[in-house]
Amino acid sequence: MNVYAPDHIFSVSELTRNIKTILEEFFGRIWVCGEISNCRRQASGHIYCTLKDNHSQLSIVFFRSDADRLKFKLQDGLQVNVFGRISVYEKRGNYQFIVERAEPVGYGALQLAFEQLKRKLDQEGLFAAEHKRSLPLFPQRIGVVTSPTGAAIRDILHVLDRRFSTVEVVLYPSLVQGEGAAEQIAEGIRVLDALGNIDVIIVGRGGGSLEDLWAFNEEVVARALFACKTPVVSAVGHEIDFTISDFVADLRAPTPSAAAELVVQEREAVAADVARLRQALARSVSTSLDNLGHRLKSAVSAYAFRRPSDMLVQYEQQLDDIRERTQELQDRFLENLETRSVNLRNRLLAARPERAFSFLGQRLHADGRMLAERLQRALASREAELGGLAAKLDSLSPLAVLGRGYSIAYREPDKTIIRDSSEVSGGDHVRVKLHRGSLACTVNQVEQEGSANG
């Protein structure tokens, strides 16, 4: 069947599959340059980005197997050359570029990865000076993580033997370049550190290209160095080579030989220092003994030692002087105290307090008499006023009214005062209250004003 015949009708899948085949066969594997944007890594490990320039954009994807080999981190804004192939995602009908490797434009991939990791670890504080530890002055056991067949271990052993042959070396053999080297180096650091009896660790290798030294730029090595409790010296490559390990380790040595020289002092130099210090100590002790001898002689020849009885007499004289001055001060104090007492007594006699007491007594007696007279007058006035008020009260009393011949009639038995003749009827019992005594009466006749009712 000729699918390109004018009358052939494609299905969507058929057309997409043909486009996919044409694109993949036509372009093959190519390089594409552009700027990374919208970069995101999925949980599957695949990386999806957009590669763009001023006019167009292209979807690109790094599958995990290729993404894990990237030495540097893809990030938005990074200009890169990517190598791969055009493909079509049939399910969506989109074409995309499948990347197999990438190189940063104007920058080596390894150099960019170095700068990115260095910036990251620096921000985390792995290079901070406060984490650096001092090397032991006289290490007894030195751990070395390096290749057992490389030049580095030979140089280290040669220097250690020359400078201090009695020091013990514990070697952890490790790959120092290539696949798996970083993991072995990190494991060697952890193993030697865990031994607990290693005084200092040297980690390194001889010189080489950036690719050869790359294991010492891996993050796993940096983390192991930072976590190591034993002081570590990084000795990687030559003097001009710098790796991430150099920044994390407690001390950087320009070469493995230099690391051995930094870790162990030269026996002859140490012996010379000991001899020099011994001589200095001997001189110091001799000088001190001489000074003490001079002081002893001076003390023995002092006046007090030569004439002790004279010194005793002098101290006795001083004691007499002190006793005499003390007695003078005591006498002077008593004399002043007596003078003050006389003055106070004279002032008291001059004041004559008995005259003051007599005058105050007379004044108190006169005031008391005047107060009694005033009280008597006040009582008489109040008695007269009380008598007047009693007379007024007595004139208003109902008994006084009865005394003038009036009487009060009450109706029995409710004791109601009778004010009107209509309030009683014939036969009612009434009581008449007089000035003295009362009368029990029965009403025989009731008379109204102007009439009489029986």
Decide: 38 and 50 in contact? Cβ < 8 Å: yes
Say what the pLDDT of residue 454 is. 39
Say what the pLDDT of residue 47 is. 94
Instruction: Kindly state the tokens that stand for 34.
Output: 């552009």
Query: DSSP secondary-structure letter at 135?
Result: P
Say what the pLDDT of residue 452 is. 45
The burial class, CB within 10 Å (0-12 / 13-18 / 19+), for 263 is buried
Same fold for the domain at 12-105 and the one at 110-130+137-268? no
Say what the pLDDT of residue 308 is. 67
Question: H/E/C letters for each residue in 10-34?
Answer: CCHHHHHHHHHHHHHHHHCEEEEEE
CA 104/CA 111 separation, integer angstroms: 10
Decide the pairing of beta strands 200-205 and 408-411: unpaired
CA 100/CA 6 separation, integer angstroms: 38
Decide: 112 and 214 in contact? Cβ < 8 Å: no
Delimit the domains of the chain by residue range: 12-105, 110-130+137-268, 402-443
Q: Which fold has domain 110-130+137-268?
A: Rossmann fold (3.40.50)
Length of the chain: 454
The percent of the chain in helix, strand and coil, each rounded to the nearest 5, is 50, 20, 30
Cβ count near 216 (within 10 Å)? 29
Nearest to 218 by CA among 310, 108, 95, 118: 118
CA 22/CA 74 separation, integer angstroms: 30
Say what the pLDDT of residue 352 is. 67
Instruction: Tell me the H-state helices in 150-266.
Output: 151-163, 181-195, 219-227, 244-248, 256-263
CATH architecture of 12-105: Beta Barrel (2.40)
Instruction: Kindly state the tokens that stand for 280.
Output: 């200095």
Say what the pLDDT of residue 71 is. 83
> Amino acid letter at 409?
A
Decide: 170 and 195 in contact? Cβ < 8 Å: yes
Instruction: Kindly state the tokens that stand for 136.
Output: 């032991």
CA 92/CA 440 separation, integer angstroms: 137
Say what the pLDDT of residue 230 is. 96
CA 247/CA 123 separation, integer angstroms: 13
CA 219/CA 186 separation, integer angstroms: 10
Q: What is the dihedral of CA 36, 37, 42, 45, to 10 degrees?
A: 0
Nearest to 262 by CA among 345, 349, 338, 201: 201
Say what the pLDDT of residue 453 is. 44
In a structure prediction context, what are the per-residue pLDDT tens digits for the chain, which is 454 residues long? 677 777 788 899 989 998 999 988 898 899 999 999 999 999 999 999 999 988 999 999 999 999 988 888 888 888 899 999 999 988 888 999 999 999 888 767 778 888 889 999 999 999 999 999 999 988 999 999 999 999 999 999 999 998 887 899 999 999 999 989 999 999 999 999 999 999 999 999 988 888 889 999 999 999 999 999 999 999 998 877 789 999 999 999 999 999 999 999 877 777 888 888 988 998 899 889 989 988 888 877 776 666 666 777 777 778 888 888 888 888 888 888 888 888 887 777 776 667 767 888 888 888 888 999 999 988 888 888 888 887 777 777 777 778 888 888 998 888 888 988 888 888 899 999 888 889 999 999 888 775 544 3
Tracing tokens 């390990």 back to the chain, one arrives at 245
Nearest to 51 by CA among 26, 29, 81: 81
CA 53/CA 79 separation, integer angstroms: 10
Tracing tokens 């200092």 back to the chain, one arrives at 200
Instruction: Kindly state the tokens that stand for 450.
Output: 């102007």
CA 372/CA 232 separation, integer angstroms: 115
Decide: 102 and 82 in contact? Cβ < 8 Å: yes
The beta strands (E) that lie in 261-343 are given as: none
